[in-house]
A and B are shown apart, each in its own frame.
Chain A
Amino acid sequence: DVKVTQSSRYLVKRTGEKVFLECVQDMDHENMFWYRQDPGLGLRLIYFSYDVKMKEKGDIPEGYSVSREKKERFSLILESASTNQTSMYLCASTENPGVTDTQYFGPGTRLTVL
């Protein structure tokens, strides 16, 4: 069975802290994605990666960076967390870049920045 795991379900951090959100997939997928989900706004793409050490900005990359040192792991980094980054963060992966490919999502990390 396909599996995408995220390091934490719930996380509470303080303003200004550096935050790491980890995502791991066990399907040998090429592509990985980070979204945030906010009430009334749906899912918005932050960053994605089509290969190791490769990254592309999504729709809302400001305030975030990513790292993909290994194929199975895609990390989202908040260099200096702010309260407006309180959100649900979702990681996803797909096998191939393509219009018919299925996205597999992790369970999400609910981050609260105080």
Chain B
Amino acid sequence: DAKTTQPNSMESNEEEPVHLPCNHSTISGTDYIHWYRQLPSQGPEYVIHGLTSNVNNRMASLAIAEDRKSSTLILHRATLRDAAVYYCILIGRDDKIIFGKGTRLHILP
């Protein structure tokens, strides 16, 4: 079973920030939080990952709660090309990667 819980779908307006939540209440101390996204008709692609501190890269930001039981992927200015399914995944020492159902993000023009 997936170790994360995400909303099934979300909507956002184009050019506005998007906050995608993820709950992972059973996270262990050595689990990293990874985010991937899957554009229509493509394989998933890496977005960002982190352990404890907030992380930024050219695609997004990752905000991790202090108790690490939840995290939020932030797209600072959504475009139509950001419409995708976003997966929040925990990856631990056993290297087993379990993808949940993800959040389908709709961007409204």
Chain A, 84-114, CB within 8 A of any chain B CB: 90, 92, 97-100, 102-108
- Give the residues in chain B near A4, CB-CB below 8 Å: 43
The number of residues on chain B lying at the interface, defined by a beta carbon within 8 Å of a beta carbon of chain A, is 24
B100 near A42 with CB under 8 A, answer yes
Taken residue by residue from 29 to 50, chain A's Cβ proximity to chain B (1 for < 8 Å, 0 otherwise) reads as 0000101000011111100000
- Give the residues in chain A near B93, CB-CB below 8 Å: 99
- Give the residues in chain B near A44, CB-CB below 8 Å: 99
Q: Complex: how many Å from CA A59 to CA B36?
A: 20
Closest CB of chain B to A110's CB: distance in Å?
9
- Give the residues in chain A near B30, CB-CB below 8 Å: 99
- Give the residues in chain A near B87, CB-CB below 8 Å: 42-43
Q: Known A42-B87, A99-B31, A99-B92; judge A108-B42 contact (CB<8 A).
A: yes
- In this complex, what residue of B is CB-closest to A98? B95
Asked whether any CB of chain A lies closer than 8 Å to the CB of B44, the reply is yes
Taken residue by residue from 3 to 44, chain B's Cβ proximity to chain A (1 for < 8 Å, 0 otherwise) reads as 000000000000000000000000000111000100001111
A43 near B99 with CB under 8 A, answer yes
- Give the residues in chain A near B36, CB-CB below 8 Å: 103
Partner of A107, one of B43, B46, B49, B99: B43
Q: Complex: how many Å from CA A104 to CA B34?
A: 13
Binding site for B on A (CB under 8 A): 4, 33, 35, 40-45, 59, 90, 92, 97-100, 102-108
